[in-house]
Structure 1
């Protein structure tokens, strides 16, 4: 199949967690809402669009969020509800194609090159999916349509919220050339800063570098950077990916020295790991904490149980215990990560129950 003939849709729910909370609680509608954390401690997991106007966003420390937006309303996450809504949305996807690759509870790729309703237009399918999501869940989604995953993902982010963007083959190269390097999906803050130090500020600048040069500076991922600079992405939508572990980690701009700050970051990481487990209908027996110190020394600590865990609270409880075992980190911490392994997928698991942890 000609790569340019593929029809890929990327659906991204708008401020998903916060929108669910506003849907279910009319008193929150129109107000700045932060899901996760509290006014005193913790980390924001998601923010409504009303909150984003004040510079509140996910991964922001709750104390800073409250300073930026004094009227901010903090809401405790309800991952069971978000997972249920996500499954409802996914059923809509499956009514059009079996080639669905979820990225998280609130976004997914769909390959509709060949689809169940025999519709040749991916744009019409995307708009119909958006309409059904709104009718069946009361929530809005943004959709991007293109001939590869990179461009579809890029398109879905261009006109949020409730957006729709189509990137055709004749639009792609110029659009990518004019794109600021920090807007590229897959290029984070650290990599963007390194690229800027090399004089790479736009897609056009990135396109001028050879594949060998990018691999030399960035490793294997340099090949990916080289191809997306040409608006090329041959990755297929992968509906069935069995993972052996699930994890999330974060490198801090300022090294952490206080236990309170470390615990706040662990809360955020535990939420992200639990979210991925819910998306994959998975449970885990092993929790691993990763700590990287200011001097890049790496330390990992693990705990394995006889029964499975899956909730954010359970993962956080174990990670918090591991952080303090045998003692709190004695040096500044530049990175924290949580991963879970010894996974059991719901469809394969014959018996078992979620372990309730008391410490």
Structure 2
């Protein structure tokens, strides 16, 4: 559809540019010759701008498809696919599990906490494996168990995450290590477990849940923001290695940047977030629709200009951060125990 729009715009622009000046604008409008010519020039620039946007969209889609011209969806049969979702017992993770099973996908949840009532589990499509994702040995044991029960997964959604609402000087080493272990290092453990089989089959999808905090570090959330920014580098490196080291551009990689979402992770500050809060079900639907579309890419689910913030003048960056400095406050010792 984007290509068709681009061709139509290009044709209109060429026609307008090569038409005689007397036909440069609609003759039915009650405009003088000078104003008609001005309108024609404005239309040219508008059409040119639209064409640039369409070309940019096409290039983005091509890049996200690993520079391949085709995207074969026929290899995905959703009632025969198997997904692993970390942190799938509550919040966004639970909503993702429900969305996947609605398409017939079998799901294994890896979480340290039992499945909550939010997970719609009739026992046929959802299985649970209690796992401390900060432990390499625990991840390996859980992976071996679920492979024995169901085979190797074709979809890995690294969603598990925790947060501290604490200033840098107040955060204990134990809490810091736990957060970094779960929010960032666990991605290495799960990918090391499940990616080799995807590479062997030249089919798979690895999705990571980052955060808008990966673009903006806030007072009281430095540890959380640092891990979410780290996931950006992890995602980019994984994508590059799949293309250039393992020669598997067919394997999809996606990274998701949710905005403030109504989960237990931010329960202590939800009142001051007000209308900014998104529902887990809405975030999960976008994530799973992306998987069902068999696409790679980045899903920015907040202000679309946020990824560009680092390229703006320093004074503007600081004003944005200053405006958000009051949001992240709370009890770090309780918040860290709550997975997203």
The alignment's TM-score, normalised by the length of structure 1, stands at: 0.25
Return the index of the structure with the highest Cα Rg. 2
Bigger proportion of residues as helix = 2
Bigger proportion of residues as strand = 1
The alignment's TM-score, normalised by the length of structure 2, stands at: 0.26
Higher relative contact order (CA 8 A, sep 6+): 2
